[in-house]
Amino acid sequence: MRGAAAGLLGLLLASGSTTTLAWAQTNVLQERDQRMQPVWGPRGMVAAGEPLAAAAGARMLRAGGNAVDAAVATTFALTVTLPHATGLGGGGFLLLWLPGTSPARARSQQAECRQAFSRELRQAGGTALGIDFRETAPAAARSDLFLAPSGAVDRHRATRSLQSAAVPGTVAGLLLAQRCYGRLPLAQVMAPAITLARQGLPVSRNFSQSLQAAGPLLQADPTSRALFFRAGRPLQPGEQLVQPELAATLERIARGGNAGFYRGPVAVAVLRLMRSDDGLISAADLQAYRARPVMPLRISFRGHPVLGMPPPAGGLTLLLLLRLLEPFNLAATGLNSAASLHTMAEAMNLAYLQRNALFGDPGDTPFPAQRFLDDAVISALRSGINTERHRPAAELLAAAPVFGEGSDTTHVSVADGRGGLVAATSSINFAYGNGITVPGAGFLLNNHMDDFSARPGSANGFGLVQGRANAIRAGRRPLSSMAPTLVFRPDGAPWIATGSPGGSRITTTVLQVLLNRLVHGLNLAGAVAEPRIHSQLLPDRIEWEQGISPDSLHALEQRGHGLQRAAAMGAAQSVEVIPRQEGGGSYGMNDPRRAWALAQPE
C-alpha cells in the first residue's frame, strides 16, 4: 500500500490545485501502518522538555485556560525545572493562534495589547501573532565589545562574563502573551512555577549529569555553586533542588507584573551584580525593555499555510528552506536517501548563506522579510542547487548573495482542545547561560551576546560565521535560530505546533520534522524520531545522526560532501490537532532524543 500511495502522490503532485487535498488524504492512508505512534489525548496536549512543567500547562487547560495560559504556565515552570535550558534571565519567541476573538481582549485596554492586536495576522476564523522577547544589547554595548587588543574575539568574555549577558526578555514576553491573550489570572498561571521553586523538585539523572558537565563553570560562581552543589559535588539524582530566591522573584512578578522584575528589588539585584565587575546592563536598559508583538511570516507549503517568526528569530530561514525544497520530489527520491539528503543539504547551505550574510534584528526599520520568500527570489536561489554535485561553501561565498539588501534551550507546544495552538521557544543560550546566578534573585544570566557576530568572519559558539547585518549595537537583538512554527491544513484549520532547541540546528531540525510529516507522510511520532542531518554552509560538511545508512553516507561523499557524525541534534516538542471527522482530540510527541514530557488536561 505504501508504494501505491507514493506513486499516486507523485502523479497528483504534478497536477495542480487538487494536489493538496489528495496530499492530505495520502498522509492519512500512510499513518495507519507506522512503526511509531504519538500519544493521543481527547482534549488538549502540552509537549515540553520536562514533565512537571508540562503538567503545569495541562493544569491550566483543565481550569479552563487556553493554549496561551498553558504555554505561559509551562514556560514559567521550565524556568524552575530546566534552569540549564531557559530562565527568567533569558529570552525567546512565541507564536500563537487562537480561534475567533480572544475573550481577554475585552479586559485588556493597555497600549501594549492594542499594539499586539494591530500586528495580528487574520486567517480562516482566527488570529495569529508572534511575540519577540529576545534579549537586547545594553545601551553601553559597542560593535567591538568582544575584540581583544589583537583584534581576535575574546571567547571567554563573549560567553562567560557578565558582558555576555543581554537584557532579559522572558518575563516581558510571557506577561504580554498572557495579559493580552490568556484567560486566567496571572497569579493562577504562575502558581505552579512558584510552588516548584519554593517546595523544590527531585533532581533527575539528566539534570545531575548536566550539572556535572557544567561543574567548572558553575563552581566558579559562588551563587551558582551554592544553588546547585552540596559539599563540592553536584546535586545527585533524587535530591531536592529548592530555589527560595527564585520563588520570591516569581512571586514579585505574579504580584507586580513587569515592574516586579524590571524595577524594584530584582532589578537592584541585577544592577548590583553588574557593578561588581564589568557588566553593562543598566537600570535604564531594564526599564526600557519591551517584548515586541510581530506579524508572523506566512508561506504556503504544498497547500498548507505555515507561519514562522520573522528576524531576529529563525523562522525566515526555515520558511526559505521549505520554499526552496517545495518542488523537489523528496517523497520519490525517498526518506534518508542520499539523493534527498544531498538536495536538503544544498538547500540548507543556500539558506544559511542568506541568513549569515543578510539577516539580523531589523529593530524599528522595515525589513523585507517576506521578499526573501518571493517566487522570483526563491527561483533564482533554487537554480543554484545542483542535484548531482555538492557546491563547496567557498564557491557559494564567492558569488554575491542573490538578494542583497540587507546547548541549551527549550520548546513548548500546546493544543488547547478548542482550536488554539501555541509554539514557544526560550533560552539562556549555552547550558546554564554564562554560569552566573543573580545573588538574591535566584536566576542565571544568559550569554546571548555571543549570538551576535563579534567580528564579521569569526565563528560564534555554534560555528556560525555571520556578518555585519548581525553586528553588536546598543538596543539590538542578536540573530537567533529559534523557530516556533505553526502549520495549518489546506482549509485553514489549525494543525501542528512545533519547535526545538539545538542552537544553529534548530531551523534544520524543525525543517526535517515538517518534511517528514508533510512530504514523507510519517505520523508525528516518526516525523520527530527519524534521524536528522544538518549543514550550515560553514563548516562545509554535513553533520549526520545515528541511523543514516552507510550507503547513503558513501553516496553523499561521492557527490562531494564532507561528513561528520554528530551527537543527537535538537529536541522537537510537537502537538497536532486531529480533525473531528478523524475522531478528534490531539497528538503529542516528545523528541525521544531527550526525556519524555507530555501532559493532558484529564
Taking contact as CB under 6 A, which single stretch among the options 23-31, 324-332, 393-401, 478-486 is the one that binds ligand DON?
478-486
* Contact present, 57 and 73 (Cβ < 8 Å): yes
| Neighbour tally for 282: CB within 10 Å | 17
Q: Is 409 a catalytic residue?
A: yes
Active-site residue, selected from the candidate residues 409, 425, 437, 485: 409
Tally the C-alpha atoms within 13 A of residue 505's C-alpha that lie toward its C-beta. 23
* Contact present, 67 and 96 (Cβ < 8 Å): yes
- For residue 169, the SS3 value is coil
Interface map 431-450 toward ligand DON (x if CB under 6 A): -----------------x--
User: Is the Cβ of residue 37 or residue 564 nearer to ligand DON in the bound state?
Assistant: 564
Among positions 74, 336, 481, 536, the unique one binding ligand DON when judged by CB under 6 A: 481
Give least dist CB 462 to ligand DON, A. 7
Binding-site size for ligand DON (CB under 6 A) equals: 14
Give least dist CB 277 to ligand DON, A. 23
Interface map 447-466 toward ligand DON (x if CB under 6 A): -x--x---------------
Taking contact as CB under 6 A, which single stretch among the options 11-19, 268-276, 402-410, 515-523 is the one that binds ligand DON?
402-410
Interface map 320-359 toward ligand DON (x if CB under 6 A): ----------------------------------------
The answer to the question of residue 409 lying near ligand DON (CB under 6 A) is yes
Considering only the C-alpha atoms of the chain, give the largest distance between any 2 of them, rounded to a whole number of Å: 69
C-alpha cell at 529: 524520531
Taking contact as CB under 6 A, which single stretch among the options 42-50, 373-381, 406-414, 589-597 is the one that binds ligand DON?
406-414
Q: Hunting for cell 551554592 — which residue is that?
A: 226
> What does DSSP assign to residue 432?
T
User: Is the Cβ of residue 427 or residue 523 nearer to ligand DON in the bound state?
Assistant: 427
User: Is the Cβ of residue 24 or residue 217 nearer to ligand DON in the bound state?
Assistant: 217
C-alpha cell at 577: 490537532
User: Is the Cβ of residue 570 or residue 588 nearer to ligand DON in the bound state?
Assistant: 570
The answer to the question of residue 506 lying near ligand DON (CB under 6 A) is yes
| Cα 179 to Cα 214: distance, rounded to the nearest angstrom | 36
What lies within 8 Å, CB to CB, of 22 at 6+ separation is 8, 9, 12
What lies within 8 Å, CB to CB, of 265 at 6+ separation is 252, 440, 441
Q: Which of 307, 315, 262, 255 is nearest to 289 (CA)?
A: 262
Give least dist CB 204 to ligand DON, A. 17
Query: For residues 241-280, which are near ligand DON according to CB under 6 A?
Result: none
The answer to the question of residue 427 lying near ligand DON (CB under 6 A) is yes
Distances (CA, A) of 420 to 116, 497, 585: 17, 10, 12
The terminus-to-terminus CA distance of the chain in angstroms comes to 36
> What does DSSP assign to residue 588?
E
Task: Output b/e per residue, 435-453; b: 16+ Cβ within 10 A.
Answer: bbbbbbbbbbbbbbbbbbb
The answer to the question of residue 311 lying near ligand DON (CB under 6 A) is no
The answer to the question of residue 501 lying near ligand DON (CB under 6 A) is yes
- In the complex, the residues that contact ligand DON under the rule CB under 6 A are 407-409, 427, 429, 448, 451, 480-482, 501-503, 506
Write out the catalytic residue numbers. 409
